[in-house]
Structure 1
Amino acid sequence: MEYVEIARAETERGELVLRERRPENAPTALELRANGVFVMDTVEVSTERALARAALEVADDPRAVVVGGLGLGFTMHEVLADSRVERCAVVEIEQALVDWMRDGTVPQGPALLADERVSVVVADIAVALAEATPASYDLVLLDVDNGPGYLVHDANAALYREPFLESARQALRTGGVLVIWSAAEAPELEKALRAVFGDAEARPYDVLLQDRDEQYWLYVARVTSEA
C-alpha cells in the first residue's frame, strides 16, 4: 500500500493531513487524518450518507439544515440531494479543510460548495449553535468527531453533553431533528438526549469497512411541541 501526502496543515487543534491511499489492485482514495487518527476517506462513505438520510427521513419539512463538520463533503452532498432543502449551513472549525474543498484539493469540493443553497461558516459548532436564532432550523446533523467514546479532540466531549444538546434543541423548530453519528454505542449520549429532548432513538448501522464488518450508531432526537 502506497500513501502520498496531498496536503497538510498545523492548526490550534494539531495536525490535519489529507493523503492519497494507493492500493495495488483497487482505486485510489483520499484519506483525512487529524493528529494521526483516521477520520474518513472517499471509499467508505455510507455512514456519512446514512447520517443525512436518517434525519431527512424523519424530518417533515427539512428546509433549513445545519451540518456540523464538513469532512470531505459527503454528508452535505446527501443533504443537497433532497429537493426540499432550501439552505444548508455547514459549520467547520478547520479553515484548512474548507480551503482544500474550495480550491479543488478535494476534487468534488468546488462543485459542492458552488451550490447556491450552501453557506460555510468557519467556527466551533458549539459557538455557532449557541449564537443561532432560536427555532431557525429543521435539521442539525452532527459529525465532527468519532463519537463520545473515540474522540479525536478531547474538547469535543462537550458536544455530547446536555448544555450543547440544549443549544441544538433551541436552534430547532418544533418537529426539528438532531442526528448525531457515533463510532460506537453511547448510552450516556442517549441518556443526555432523552434528558434534553424527552425522547431519543439509537439506531445501529452495519457497514463493511475495508473488508471488516463494523457497526456504527446514529442517535436521533426530535423537538416535539411538549419539549
Structure 2
Amino acid sequence: MEHVEKARAESARGELVLRERREPGAPAVLELRANGVFVMDTLETSTEQALAAAALELVADPRAVLVAGLGLGFTLHEVLADSRVERCAVVEIEEALVGWLRDGTVPHGPALLADERAAIVVADVAVAMAEARPASYDLVLLDVDNGPGYLVHDLNARLYQPAFLAATRTVLRPGGALVLWSADEAPELEETLRSVFGAAEARPLAVRLQDRDEHYWLYVARVPSGA
C-alpha cells in the first residue's frame, strides 16, 4: 500500500494531514489525520451517514440544522439529502480543512459546499454556540470526536460538560434535539445531558464496517415541544 500526502497544515491544535492511500486495482482513498491520529477516510463513511440519518428521524421538521465538525463532509451530505432541511450550518475549527473542501483538494468538496443551504462557519464550536441566536435550530449534531472517551483534541472535553450543553439547549427550538455520537457507552455523558435537559437517552446503533458488525451509541436530549 502506498501513502501520498495531499495537504498538510499547522494550527494551534497541531498538525492536520490529508493523505491518499493507494492499492493496485482499487480506487484511491483519502484519509484525514490529526496529530498523527486517524480521524476518518473516504472508504468507510457509514458512521457519518448513520449519525445524520438517525438524528434526522428524531425531529418532525428539521428545517434548520447545525453540525459541529465538517470532517470530510459526509455528515453534511446526508443532512442535505433530506428535503425537509432548509439550512445547515457547519461549524469547523480548522480553516485549512474547509479550504481543502472548497478548492477541490477533497474532490467532492466543491459540489457539496456549493449547495445554497449549506453555510460553513470557521470557529470554535463552543464560541459559535454561545453567540448563536436562541431557538434558531431544530437539530444539533455533535460530530467532532468519537465520543467523550475518544477526543481528537483534549480541549474538546468541555463539549461534553454542562456549560456547553446548556448553551446548546438554548439554541434549540421547542421540539428540537441534540444528538451526540459515541463509539462506546458513555453513562456520565447521559447523566450530564439529563441534568441539563431534564431527560436523555442512549440509543444503540448498529453499523456495518468493512464486513464486520459494530455497535455505536447516539446520545439524545430534547427540548420539550411546549418549552
TM-score by length of structure 2 reads 0.95
2:67 paired with 1:67? yes
* Map of 1:120 onto structure 2: 120
Render the CA deviation track for 1:7-51: whole Å, top value 9, x for unaligned.
110111000001111134533211111011111111111111111
Is the 1:54–1:179 Cα contact (8 Å) retained in structure 2?
no
Check conservation: 2:46, 2:208, Cα contact below 8 A. Answer: no
Per the TM alignment, residue 216 of structure 1 is displaced from its structure 2 partner at its CA by 1.9
The offset of 1:220, in angstroms, is 1.3
Gaps of 5+ in 1: none
Report Cα offsets for 1:147-181 as digits up to 9, x if no partner: 11011200000001111111111000000011111
The whole-number CA distance in structure 1 between the counterparts of 2:35 and 2:204 is: 27
| CA–CA separation in structure 1 for the residues paired with 2:51 and 2:98 | 20
Amino acid at match of 1:184: D
Residue of structure 2 in register with 1:204 after alignment? 204
Instruction: Give me the whole-angstrom Cα distance separating, in 2, the residues matched to 1:210 and 1:24.
Output: 18
Query: How many residues end up aligned between the 2 structures?
Result: 227
Where 1:70 maps in the other structure, the secondary structure is: coil
Match in the other structure for 2:131: 131
How far apart are 1:209 and its partner, in Å? 3.3
CA contact (8 A) 2:50 2:207 kept: no
Paired-residue identity, %: 77
Structure 1 distance, partners of 2:218, 2:106, is 26
- 8 A contact 1:130–1:167 mirrored in 2: yes
2:16 corresponds to = 16
The residue correspondences of 1:136-147 to structure 2 (distance < 5 A) are 136-147=136-147
Superposed CA offset, 1:49-73 (max 9, x none): 1111111101011111101000000
Distance in 1 separating the partners of 2:103 and 2:45: 22
- Partner of 2:44, secondary structure, is coil
**Which secondary structure state, in structure 2, belongs to the residue aligned with residue 215 of structure 1?**
strand
Deviation at 1:217, TM superposition (A): 1.5
Correspondence list, 1:1-227, <5 A: 1-225=1-225
Could you tell me which amino acid in structure 1 is paired with residue 92 of structure 2? E
